[in-house]
A and B are shown apart, each in its own frame.
Chain A
């Protein structure tokens, strides 16, 4: 699973510009499912039709994980070759000094703060500049509109299963989805896997995918802030304690039947899971829930520490657990 995670994490894919990561995912799911296509907004849709004999009444199940990652967009370049940027998705300015930013054309840079060689204050984006080493506007290899993503490397932290990386939100979910599709056995249901665009920006991709696919119910697979670091309350969604079934976030109350189905699937699969009520953020489930005449949704969350910073941490056991839950969910 670590190899797969590294592969999808290293693919460039800021919101709205997901072509490269889409190609990487497509290569992983082609041949595994019955149909792979890209819709007009760039969502990658992988469809697995029912296999095996009979069983329960067939349903169309949407699994959504977003391909995009947070980024910065070049807004202007000054006479000295420094760039000013706009956030794409939630970017915390205080995490930027020392962060490594990589552009689609391979150019790399980092951030500085106006008038401060060693900044000590809380930072705001307008007071910061992106430095790629250019000496003048003409020398700068960036153009207005270019998007930079945060990059380090995806490596093991302490222990066998803790991993550090730059964009587990939501490449961890993408890896889970790919792995679940690969391992999927017979199922009476149609699995509609959507690798969505622009979740970090507007949930636009999930809204379009849900409209196009018309699922009977849907699960969003995304990271959730882990509640097991110092002084965080409540202590839920702990790293390594299994995937979290998120019952409510700031925008979505999961459908009771989907919640029960997820709990039953986890129990059937014999994997540890956690129940969570989240006070931060939301997921593709928000947009899917109001598609057409409404879609019952649930959220399967992967606990992650330090999300929306350039270096995040997940536990591979949670990813493995999520794969098992998804498989069990559609097995009968």
Chain B
């Protein structure tokens, strides 16, 4: 297997909310030097790696994968020392109840408190709180005590540890730290095109990093590697899931804001067939990705989305199948070997 689960371990546990991806960026940058011709960053926080074509270049290909993860931001420190928060990125309240998070530069641990069930009136026991109603408890009793530890604007991310779960891996932020590992593996190869990899910032708040990255690189085509949520929980009222874990990368054809390039998506399907690489096709989904920013940059860029199936994305612990990462890597490698 080409996919390095040790790097995935380190990246999954790294602190990287949208707008503060520096720890993730530093981990990646340390790995890039021996593999690339040039490495640089931009003002948004994107990290770029360029690997020039072996022989004459047949064009410029951009691969993007976002570094940021679903996070929280501290909005207010209450008089009782409890912190109120809001979402930074694609965070949802459902998975956070009772979880441990790490806060701010000091990585201070905090607990997202929930009222004990026996103290909750019957009629409110089924209620699902809004994110704005959650508080983070860092074990202090007053605003003054909290002041030395955290401050307004600090980020919080889940504290989940990376590990194996049967054939799968578990950890936080597998969407899209898994994508970073796949993109990183591509740099080991030689291709007949100039390969630009953009490890992007701020995907979760509107694909902001991807847009400026694509504008700067001006590629002939772009391949976005990103997590794609799969829902395999049983529900007899629903048809079976369109995509599953372990059945290969997901070629996403559209989302709420993006129609991916048809020719490029078909070419990737044909390449997968020719190389015997498993893949899945998803017509549409309710979540956007970096593809939205890349496609609309400058005078437009033909873009495809190669999705990595992730179970429980944007929750404190998500699951992924290493075989999917490997298959996505092989498919991207095949595409880069025949860039047009």
Contact = CB atoms under 8 A, between A and B. Distances in A.
Interface in B235-265: 239, 242, 253-254, 257-262, 265
A74 B295 CA distance: 23
B242 A16 contact: no
B148 to A, nearest CB: 45
Interface stretch (B79-87, B98-106, B277-285, B324-332): B277-285
A208 B301 CA distance: 9
A40 B302 contact: yes
B299 interface: yes
Nearest to B238: A126
Chief secondary structure at chain B's binding surface = loop
Nearest to A43: B300
A121 B250 CA distance: 36
A145 interface: yes
A212 interface: yes
A16 B284 CA distance: 13
A201 B298 CA distance: 18
Given A16-B262, A198-B259, A202-B259, A207 B296 contact: yes
A39 B300 contact: yes
Interface in A2-40: 15-17, 39-40
B259 A201 contact: yes
A207 B220 CA distance: 18
Contacts of A211: 298-300
Contact of B242 (A15, A39, A76, A209): A76
Contacts of A201: 254, 259
Contacts of B262: 16-17
B239 to A, nearest CB: 6
Interface string A196-215: 00100110110111011000
Given A145-B253, A201-B259, A73 B300 contact: no
Contacts of A40: 220, 299-302
Contacts, number: 73
Interface string A33-61: 00000011101000000000000000000
B269 to A, nearest CB: 9
A218 to B, nearest CB: 15
Interface in B261-320: 261-262, 265, 281-284, 295-296, 298-302
Given A41-B300, A76-B239, A207-B296, A144 B282 contact: yes
Contacts of B261: 16, 41
Of the listed residues B253, B262, B265, B283, the one surrounded by the most CB atoms of chain A closer than 10 A to its CB is B283
Contacts of B220: 40
Contact of B259 (A39, A43, A88, A207): A88
Given A17-B262, A40-B299, A145-B283, A75 B242 contact: yes
A208 B281 contact: no
A108 to B, nearest CB: 19
Contacts of A15: 259
Given A16-B262, A88-B259, A202-B257, A144 B298 contact: no
Given A86-B254, A202-B258, A204-B295, A144 B281 contact: yes
A291 B169 CA distance: 44
B189 to A, nearest CB: 25
A144 B251 CA distance: 11
Contact of A212 (B259, B295, B299): B299
A114 to B, nearest CB: 11
A16 B305 CA distance: 14
A74 B239 CA distance: 14
Nearest to A89: B259
B19 to A, nearest CB: 24
Contact of B300 (A17, A74, A212): A212
Contacts of B298: 208, 211
B283 A75 contact: yes
A74 B282 CA distance: 10
Nearest to A211: B299
Contacts of B242: 75-76, 144
A144 B257 CA distance: 19
B238 to A, nearest CB: 10
A84 interface: yes
Interface string A66-106: 00000001111010000010101000000000000000000
Contacts of A209: 299
Contacts of A208: 296, 298-300
A207 B298 CA distance: 8
Contacts of B301: 40-41
B156 to A, nearest CB: 33
A40 B60 CA distance: 14
B212 to A, nearest CB: 14
Contact of A74 (B258, B283, B299): B283
Contacts of B296: 202, 204, 207-208
Contacts of A202: 257-259, 296
A73 B283 CA distance: 7
A75 B259 contact: no
22 contacts: A16-B259, A16-B262, A17-B262, A40-B220, A40-B299, A40-B300, A40-B302, A41-B295, A41-B300, A41-B301, A41-B302, A75-B284, A86-B284, A144-B281, A145-B265, A198-B259, A201-B254, A202-B259, A202-B296, A204-B258, A204-B259, A212-B300
Q: Top 10 A-B pairs ranked by shortest CB distance?
A: A208-B300, A16-B259, A41-B300, A212-B299, A86-B284, A75-B283, A145-B253, A211-B299, A144-B281, A73-B283
Given A73-B284, A145-B265, A212-B299, 9 more contacts: A17-B262, A75-B284, A86-B254, A144-B242, A144-B253, A207-B296, A208-B300, A209-B299, A211-B298
